[in-house]
Amino acid sequence: MARCPTTRHSHAPWGVALSEAAGQAAGRHAPEPLTILRDPATIRERSAAITRAVSEGRSSFFMLDRARLDDTASLVESVTRAAYPELRIPYHSRWRHFEAGGVDRKRELDALLAGRSPAEQARARVDLTVVSVLLDAGAGARWKYVDADSGQTFSRSEGLAVASLRAFVRGAFSSQRDDPLRVDAATLRRLDAGALKEMFQASAGNPLIGLESRAALLNRLGNALPSDAPGDEARPGSLFDRLTQRGERTQIAAADVLRALLEAFSSIWLTGSVLHGVPLGDVWPHPFAGGHSTTAGWVPFHKLSQWLAYSLLEPFEWAGVSVTGLDALTALPEYRNGGLLLDTGVIVPRDARLVARIWKPADPFVIEWRALTVSLIDELAPLVRERLGRSAEQMPLACLLEGGTWAAGRQIAKELRDGSPPLAIDSDGTVF
Strand 274-275, strand 278-279: pairing: antiparallel
pLDDT at 195: 97
Do 357 and 375 belong to one domain?
yes
Q: What single DSSP character describes residue 35?
A: H
Q: Which domain holds residue 317?
A: 1-91+273-432
Classify residue 256: in a domain, yes or no.
Answer: no
Do 213 and 277 belong to one domain?
no
Classify residue 430: in a domain, yes or no.
Answer: yes
Beta carbons within 8 Å of 11's beta carbon, 6+ residues apart: 272, 360, 362, 363
CB 208 within 8 A of CB 194: no
Alpha helices in 171-210 (DSSP H): 185-190, 193-199
In 186-268 the beta strands, taken as DSSP E runs, fall at 251-253
Classify residue 254: in a domain, yes or no.
Answer: no
Q: How many CB atoms lie within 10 A of CB 147?
A: 20
Do 385 and 356 belong to one domain?
yes
* Tens-digit pLDDT profile for residues 244-273: 998 899 999 999 999 999 999 988 988 888
**Averaged pLDDT, 128-138:** 92
CB 371 within 8 A of CB 46: yes
pLDDT over 70 percentage in the chain: 91
pLDDT at 8: 41
* Tens-digit pLDDT profile for residues 45-65: 999 999 999 999 999 999 999
Choose one of 188, 214, 236: the last residue of a domain.
Answer: 236
Do 180 and 283 belong to one domain?
no
CB 402 within 8 A of CB 333: no
Do 284 and 411 belong to one domain?
yes
Choose one of 236, 259, 287: the last residue of a domain.
Answer: 236
pLDDT at 21: 34
Preceding omega of 404 cis (within 30 degrees of 0) = yes
Q: Which residues of 288-314 are buried (b: 16+ CB within 10 A; e: fewer)?
A: bbbbeebbebbbbbbbbbbbbbbbbbb
Helix H or strand E segment including 153: strand 152-154
Confidence of residue 300 (pLDDT cuts 50, 70, 90): very high
Q: Over 80: is that where the pLDDT of 138 sits?
A: no
Q: Over 80: is that where the pLDDT of 90 sits?
A: yes
- Quote the number of domains for the chain: 2
Q: Over 60: is that where the pLDDT of 20 sits?
A: no
Do 147 and 281 belong to one domain?
no
- Give the span between the Cα atoms of 317 and 333, in whole angstroms: 25
